[in-house]
Structure 1
């Protein structure tokens, strides 16, 4: 299978070469690396082009005419990939040598899988491991299959990826969350509980520096304490007026059925469930706009109706009650 790697860069000259070196040291090399630079003012694009001259694989470097932002830049990189498997890659991490080979083996073993994600090792800016992986951190209090989403740890089948693009322009919807939502809808996601990359956290990461991504936490008690004090994204992000997933399922209905990604009954069940989930998200978003004491009755009703246990962990109800 032809393997593509999609990298979206911005002001990444400090770490990019180290990342590209780790790709060049893979036991299975990619066929192409697509780099889209988001109008960086540093030497990121120039360094990528210089690296391409001696690279053991093809590197195509593209430059955005103006800064378009992380989501749209990654969308451009993914659209330019033509591989049978596409690996998402950030500019500042390091892949372990067996990453491509391990993920490739999973795709070959799980023929119904359209998306594979592996665990990763948290590191500080100097790439020193803090002694915790992301799945280990999320193991208690999260549904790993549903909630574990990291772009740089994700690979996706090219044919399915092209069905998912472009990424919908919805506030708060990142490119990696979108791809995982599409894969989850057809039950085509596989999680590898083995770290296959070093996840560098520093002051300029493009991904949000939320508690779940912090490199300063290495025990579960500190993590849960910080999570309960973290402002809710539902409170900060406007609630979407429609479900992009339902729109995608409706648009690609015939293709999804014809290629047997999903059957008619399962597709309708997903649409019904997604409509219910949208109602729950809207209800939670409205509740979080109220003072804590005025949330109690609404949260209790939502909890008893199954809104939390159906789509979120039950601890989310406590978080909604306690968060500022």
Structure 2
């Protein structure tokens, strides 16, 4: 690949854009990630700040090799002990000097023109504080297309209340936002498993986001990533649930309407109730569906699950059958 940057990137002027790269145990991929950032053609000075969370592999060596080649552009935050995603993000984004900040994880890749497209959007639409985009999901090694369970509904515009009620429908690596919105509040480093919704809520309070239905990046689906290890792991799912419930409290503390916050709590508890039901964790299912019901009434699925909460085995058989029927219908459509 051509590693030539536009001249403005090397000038010792304050950067307009800061690209925050988060890395943990991604030595095999972080080089391609950094190269895709450096290959961006953009009409403003920019900087790249890489936070490595004490990776046990060769991630730091790969990052250092790039930093030595591009010392005017790349800065490194090398943690001497593992601080987790939130801690790594907090320490890295704190060094961002730009008017705009773009996020990317160390195993993802930017498509040509990504940064300029998002920057142009934010400069021409001052009413928006965040712009995100579609990403192509691929196997981490083969780069063959793979499915990823993002929500099907992707609104063109959204706000913090939408994310609290529905959760994110895009990837962390697609985000670009105005830095002053991020700087209003400290990153919540207490969130260890699901930190991104709280970050987005802090950025979007009083502003709006836009989703570009344009493929501007490549997302590697990591078989040992957060979703597989924690969110989809029954023994560790509770810490993820605790994080999203804490995120609802973050939203409340920022002044979000109580109805929206309670709907968010109900939705998150309902999602966990279904997860526990499918995995046969009957006590956890009952606890979560009751918590969801107490938080807010959010639809017929919640009502049926709550009404049948005392018969989880029967309910699981019915629910599994309905899912199989729905899957066959989609496959034959």
Distance 1:209 1:190 in 2: 28
Match of 2:152 in 1: 139
Q: What secondary structure is seen at the aligned counterpart in 1 of 2:117?
A: helix
* Corresponding residue to 1:157 among 178, 191, 200: 178
1:273 aligns with 2:263: no
Distance 2:110 2:235 in 1: 32
1:10-63 CA-partner distances (Å, limit 9, x unpaired) = 222111111111111112176111111111232222221221222396101121
1:245 aligns with 2:251: yes
1:94-113 CA-partner distances (Å, limit 9, x unpaired) = 11011101111211222111
Q: For the Cα contact (< 8 Å) 2:193–2:239, is it kept in 1?
A: no
Distance 1:187 1:317 in 2: 33
Distance 2:268 2:20 in 1: 34
Match of 1:63 in 2: 78
* Corresponding residue to 1:81 among 96, 105, 108: 96
Q: What secondary structure is seen at the aligned counterpart in 1 of 2:176?
A: strand
Q: If the length of structure 1 is used for normalisation, what is the TM-score?
A: 0.70
CA shift at 1:158, angstroms?
Answer: 0.7
1:264-302 CA-partner distances (Å, limit 9, x unpaired) = xxx5xx33334533663697578978669979x969x94
1:217-270 CA-partner distances (Å, limit 9, x unpaired) = xxxxxxxxxx9xx999569633747712222x2xxxxxxxxxxxxxxxxx5xx3
Q: If the length of structure 2 is used for normalisation, what is the TM-score?
A: 0.68
1:308 aligns with 2:298: yes
* Corresponding residue to 2:209 among 189, 209, 221: 189
Distance 1:294 1:166 in 2: 33
Correspondence 1:171-186 to 2 at 5 A: 172-174=193-195, 176-186=196-206
Match of 1:208 in 2: 227
For structure 2, the residue ranges without an aligned partner over 5 or more in a row are 1-14, 307-314, 321-333
Q: 1:298 to 1:153 in 2, by over 3 A?
A: same
Q: 1:191 to 1:275 in 2, by over 3 A?
A: closer
Q: What secondary structure is seen at the aligned counterpart in 2 of 1:46?
A: helix
Figure out how many residues of one structure are paired with residues of the other and give that number.
278
RMSD: 4.1
CA shift at 1:182, angstroms?
Answer: 2.6
1:2 aligns with 2:16: yes
